[in-house]
Amino acid sequence: MKFVAFPRELQGTGASRRLRISGKVPGIVYGGGEPVKIELDHNALYHAIKKEAFHSSILDMDLQGQTQQVLLRDLQMHAFRQIVLHVDFQRVDATTRVQKKVPLHFINEENAPGVKVDSGVMSHVMNELEIQCLASQLPEFFEVDLGELAKGQSLHVNDLKLGAGIKVVLRGKKNPVIATVVSQAAEEAPAEAVVVAAPAAATKAKKTEKQNKK
């Protein structure tokens, strides 16, 4: 995926504010040399960040006619308006080792025996996987086939075939669950518990009011 950036000459809070008013977004590129301050067209960037690949894959940045490979590292948004305030990129090459969260794309969920035959519900416990690998090995996403799961079965991280050189960042968990097939009753249980608990709380409140009046 490719995008265009421009050198940013002015610095400081006031300069960044004027830049945003003019429809630009301040940013910086670091790693593999001196940091470079850049600016990007806000509308083009805003449409780009809606694409999954912009967040999880190597990007080609065109800066003054030269293409550099970068990764999106940080994105600052306005608290309540749909405005990008600042963006950070990291330069990478084939030898750069990166750590990145990669989205999971689930397939064949409707064909899983636990769903199709036993009328179970597929529960996605994880929707992305944090990995370490060379920048050249970074995938845009991982495809996860759920077509063999029966009711009560789970798919774990160790069940995935990620490719040589790709290491999962587990953060203390040995083999976390990615997806599992549960019964519809299990999915509906939390909602029912809330409905039952609500009248009890209301009754207690009414008793307290009566006691206060006495």
Residue 209 pLDDT level (bands cut at 50, 70, 90)? low
Query: Does residue 139 register a pLDDT over 70?
Result: yes
The predicted structure's pLDDT at residue 112: 95
Query: Which residue is associated with the tokens 């789970």?
Result: 154
Residue 212 scores a pLDDT above 80? no
Do 104 and 127 lie in one domain? The reply is yes
In a domain, 192, yes or no: no
- Which residues, 6+ apart, have CB-to-CB distance to 85 below 8 Å? 20, 25, 76, 77, 78
> Taking residues 204-209, what's their average pLDDT?
52
Question: pLDDT at position 14, please?
Answer: 83
Number of domains in the chain: 2
pLDDT in tens, 96-125: 999 999 999 999 999 999 999 988 999 999
Q: Are residues 46 and 65 in the same domain?
A: yes
Q: What does the pLDDT read at residue 200?
A: 52
What amino acid is encoded at 23 in this protein?
A: G
* DSSP single-letter state for residue 42: H
- Does residue 190 register a pLDDT over 80? no
CATH number for the domain harbouring residue 133: 2.170.120.20
3-state secondary structure of 159: helix
Of 92, 121, 136, the last residue of a domain is 92
In this predicted structure, which of 43-52, 182-191, 200-209 has the lowest mean pLDDT? 200-209
Residue 191 lies in a domain: no
Structural domain including 119 reads 98-182
Q: Do residues 83 and 125 both lie within one domain?
A: no
Q: Are residues 6 and 87 in the same domain?
A: yes
Taking all residues of the chain, what is their mean pLDDT, rounded to a whole number? Answer: 87
Boundary of a domain, candidates 50, 67, 92: 92
107 shares a domain with 80: no
- Which of 62, 92, 122 is at the close of a domain? 92
Summarised one tens digit per residue, pLDDT across range 42-83 is 999 999 999 999 998 999 999 999 999 999 999 999 999 999
Tokens of 79: 């608290």
